[in-house]
Amino acid sequence: MRKNTTVMRLVCAVIAVAVLGACAKPVERAATVKQTIRIGVLGGYATFEENIRSYYTEIFENKYPNAKVEIVGALDKFAIETAQKPIDRIGAMLQLLASDNPPDVVVIEDLSTLPEYIQANALVSIEPYLANDNIDLNAFIPNVVNAIKSTADDGKLYGLTPMFSSYALFYNKKIFEEAGIAVPTDNMTWDQVLALGTQLNKGKGKDAQIGFAFNYGNSTILLQDATVYTRSLGMRFYDEEATRMTINTPEWQEVFSTLIDWKKKQPNLAVNADLFKLGKLAMVIQPFQYVAEMVAFNEAVQRAEKGKPIDWDVVTVPTHESGSAGLELFVGGLMAINAKAQNMDGAWDFIRFILSPEWIKLKSRSIYGISSLSEFAKPKEGVQYNLPAFYKVPFYVSPSQEALVRTYPTINDVIAIGQPRLEEVAKGKKTLKKALAEWETSGNKLIKKIRELKEQQDVQSKEEQ
């Protein structure tokens, strides 16, 4: 019976719009069909089922009492990941999806891992279902849909997320007003933001003011700053197969030269606190969740009548002049359909409800996520800010590192060894060219050791078998 209804859905997808009304809608199915819908999540912690139910399934089950929702985790409830033996998260989920009693719905927590599911043929495209139910993708935020589509070689849509998070550039209006400088705007480049930040640097010691920082603590760790600065350029510290370093290049030299020169102009304000909330930082890149922090901070200040609220707003994250994308899109709960689902139509019933205005309207009241439906992508009541800044710039979808780190758990140690050398450059004790050359040599030696250790472990594992 399930196969027949699935075929009917696909047939309906290509029939004229006038005939679409004859196809059973998900709401009608969910209201009348007694069914069990299994939802697969990574899990791996004691309260994962409780969290999934409270956030996703309780509303659905209350509305459709005929539906029974079962939640199954791919990982053991108390699984612990260690540096010596990382858990194969994707492998565990793929194994669950292909099991004898597989889940129907797949909840994917990291967009960078979606290609692995698609390449493993573990998911089906949801586009026929969208077409059958006459769901207009234009109702969703375009850059969110485009980012998800970009993970598939065939350009198809294999899932959607009802809520998302991302980054924006937060700024302090008062600092700009006092300096007589225009506030930042959307679509600024990195060069413009760094230059603007330098204009706002002033003072020394505890009275210093910083124009821009990559995080609210004004980190002096250039490696962290460089990672954010180069994220959308696809630059790597080592090659894709982790066989050699790729750090000693003119491109990396230009990056570190730019950041070191910018950092030298920063006042030395090493305070272990949120400088933005202290009113000592003009601009900072932060995720959407920082909105909630700023709202709570200002409310607390007003209640206590001590300190000063921060008059803030946001603009889009900087991009490079090459027209690169911005920073990552965080999907949290991207919903997809298992290619081996026993109740494929039920899976779509559930996903359709989670993507519906009814569910999203309720959940969009939360300040911790942004609605993927444009209609409900609005600031929380009583708080006004430039919310579109979080999604106006195309998102960068980073390649997954899970498989590589599972194979070589300590591979990123080759990145960390560059920090002390960069510090020597910043202090004028070493040239950047020499520092990158040393980093490359030391990194290649470490890569060789890491790969040799892996080969020895493989041999030992085979002997034990």
Task: Report helix angle 2-13 to 344-354, nearest 10.
Answer: 50
Query: Tokens 């075929």, residue?
Result: 7
Q: Which residues pair with 297 in a beta bridge?
A: none
- Whether residue 302 lies inside any domain: the answer is no
| Residue 316: inside a domain | no
Is 338 inside any structural domain?
A: yes
- Strands 105-108 and 35-43 turn out to be parallel
- CA-CA distance, 191 to 166, in Å (whole number)? 21
pLDDT of res. 76: 67
Q: Write down the pLDDT at residue 26.
A: 47
pTM of the model: 0.89
Asked whether residue 249 is assigned to any structural domain, the reply reads: no
pLDDT of residue 218: 60
- 152 belongs to a structural domain: yes
Low-confidence ranges of the chain (pLDDT < 70): 1-29, 76-86, 217-220, 365-367, 381
DSSP characters over 89-147: HHHHHHHHHTSSS--SEEEE--GGGHHHHHHTT-EE-SHHHHHHTT--GGGB-HHHHHH
* Number of CB atoms found within 10 A of residue 249's CB: 13
Q: Is residue 174 in a domain?
A: no
In a domain, 221, yes or no: no
* Domain-located, residue 105: yes
**What is the per-residue pLDDT for 89?**
86
User: For residue 50, what pLDDT is reported?
Assistant: 84
Amino acid identity of 439? W
The token pair that represents 265 in the structure block: 């102009």
User: Which CATH number do you get for residue 6?
Assistant: 3.40.190.10
> How many structural domains compose the chain?
1
- pLDDT for the residue numbered 296: 93
Q: What is the pLDDT of residues 152-176, one digit of tens each?
A: 999 999 999 999 999 999 999 999 9
Range of the domain at 373: 2-165+329-390
For 200-253, write each residue's pLDDT tens digit.
999 988 889 999 999 876 666 889 999 999 988 989 999 999 999 999 999 999
Helices vs strands, H then E, count in the chain? 19, 11
What pLDDT is recorded for position 236? 93
